[in-house]
């Protein structure tokens, strides 16, 4: 039996192409429950793709933050330069155990056909908040991350908030 690795490696080999700050170091990510709900809602309700992104340099524990994929990163000044590891984007669907259908306005109104407009707005708002609460309560315990040119890496998910 070997001694535990003092660097915090959890037994998974580091990504040799990424060096000491590569995604192979990741053991866990922290996500805010509200960020996951917001990213999933934006992705389902708009034509924008919103993800949670982990940016290098990587360490054992990282925070994943909201990021719109539509926000194109500026092109590198010199494509021949040695580039560091790319950020890792995590789709919000991958962070939720059971993604329920988003409540549509027409469906909410159909459940209350005799209600006035204000009641429809209130009831729909309550349905959306209940959906967001279910998302916040359904954050997974681990997720497989697509790591550059390597096998997916399973990491723990720590839900904040």
pLDDT in tens, 108-159: 888 888 888 899 899 999 999 999 999 999 999 999 988 766 778 899 999 9
Does one domain contain both 67 and 133? Answer: no
Does one domain contain both 109 and 161? Answer: no
Does one domain contain both 63 and 120? Answer: no
pLDDT value, residue 17:
41
pTM of the model as a whole: 0.77
Does one domain contain both 120 and 144? Answer: no
Does one domain contain both 79 and 28? Answer: yes
Does one domain contain both 26 and 58? Answer: yes
Structural domains in the chain (count): 2
Torsion of CA 109, 115, 120, 124, to 10 degrees: -60
Does one domain contain both 50 and 7? Answer: yes
Helices 33-45 and 117-136: angle between axes, nearest 10 degrees: 130
Host domain of residue 127: 100-137
pLDDT > 60? residue 32: yes
Does one domain contain both 31 and 76? Answer: yes
What is the rounded distance in angstroms from the CA atom of residue 92 to the CA atom of residue 94?
Answer: 5
Does one domain contain both 114 and 41? Answer: no
For the stretch 49-99, pLDDT in tens is 999 999 999 899 999 999 998 765 544 444 444 567 889 999 999 999 999
């Amino acid at each position: 039996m070997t001694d535990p690795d003092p660097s915090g490696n959890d037994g998974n080999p580091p990504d040799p192409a990424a060096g000491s700050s590569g995604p192979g170091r990741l053991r866990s990510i922290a996500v805010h429950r509200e960020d996951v709900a917001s990213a999933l809602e934006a992705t389902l309700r708009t034509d924008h793709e919103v993800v949670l992104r982990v940016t290098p340099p990587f360490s054992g524990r990282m925070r994943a933050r909201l990021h719109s994929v539509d926000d194109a990163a500026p092109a590198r000044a010199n494509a021949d330069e040695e580039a560091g590891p790319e950020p890792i984007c995590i789709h919000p669907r991958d962070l939720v155990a059971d993604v329920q259908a988003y409540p549509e306005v027409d469906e909410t109104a159909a459940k209350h056909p005799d209600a006035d407009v204000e009641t429809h707005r209130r009831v729909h708002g309550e349905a959306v908040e209940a959906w967001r609460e279910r998302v916040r309560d359904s954050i997974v315990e681990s997720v497989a991350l697509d790591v550059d040119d390597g096998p997916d890496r399973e990491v723990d998910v720590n839900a904040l908030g």
